[in-house]
Amino acid sequence: MMAAAVPTITGAGATATPTARLQMHREGAVLVLTISNPAARNTVNPSIYRAAAKAIRAASGFRTVRAIVLTGEGEHFCVGGDLRRLVRQRKLPQSEQLAHSDALNEWVMAMQEAPQPVIAAVEGTAAGSGFSLCLACDLVVAAEDAEFVMSNVNFGLSIDGGGTDSLVRSLPPQAVLEILLGGSVHHARRLHDWGVVNRIVPRGTAYAAALAWAQKLAQGPFDVQARIKELVYAARGRSRREQLEAERGVLVESLYSDESGKRIKEFLTARQKR
């Protein structure tokens, strides 16, 4: 059952696209965040960055939120920043843009640090920072005709939103540079073959598939899922020995938890009845 919708946050202001907003609502234990600016293919702005980071940080403190889905309204996921805003930004101090970039980075870190799994539901196009935001999610569901492009280079811009970090940890340098340097379109099927996209679904069903997956994950053990997610991301900066030690500590902690005791007992009881 859908819970009451959380109020929409509008990204209005002198340097923002007036119609850009972040919509939030609950589908049971799943928090759905929708980038809403369909007339501009869901371009985003600093107000959206801050709203999304705030929403995810808040959700991290509620065990009733067990998974998060990030999607775009209408036919596209997100095509990144508004070039018109960037044109205006060039006339303002660089310090202001640095603050905007920090806000985007906070959104990315909020998704990684959230205890809940975050799933991107991608229809249409994910471009520029929109592609980076997609990559920053824990899992990616994409429509079979979805297109991904790091378009920044086409405008003389480097990559933001952690795109370089996400890709270089998933792919060899040759593949990463092909994506980043050329500014060309890469289709969902190819990224699925590379392991960047988890699931390919028919056009128009990415959100439904991502929500169904999120609802299934929401039934899992909250603390253990959070620890597994933390272990995966922490492994990037650790040696094999350090990761083994971290896994050991988390395993022992989870083994002695009430959640583990309950689930093991339920499994053994069901097995005895077969």
Question: Residue ranges per domain, the chain?
Answer: 6-217, 222-272
What pLDDT, in 10s, does the model give residues 102-114? 999 999 999 999 9
Cβ distance 44 to 23 under 8 Å? no
What pLDDT, in 10s, does the model give residues 186-238? 999 999 999 999 999 999 999 999 999 999 999 999 999 999 999 999 998 88
- Quickly state the pLDDT bin for 87 (edges 50, 70, 90): confident
- 3-state class (DSSP) for residue 141: strand
Per-residue pLDDT averaged across 69-96, rounded?
90
Distance CA 168, CA 175 (A): 9
What pLDDT, in 10s, does the model give residues 5-28? 333 333 333 333 447 899 999 999
pTM of the model: 0.87
Average pLDDT across the chain, whole number: 89
Distance CA 151, CA 159 (A): 9
Q: What percent of the chain has pLDDT over 70?
A: 93
Bridge partner list, 201: 143
What pLDDT, in 10s, does the model give residues 134-188? 999 999 999 999 999 998 888 888 899 999 999 999 999 999 999 999 999 999 9
Cβ distance 56 to 111 under 8 Å? yes
Distance CA 98, CA 223 (A): 35
CATH number belonging to domain 6-217? 3.90.226.10
Tokens linked to 53:
């980071």
Q: What percent of the chain has pLDDT over 90?
A: 66
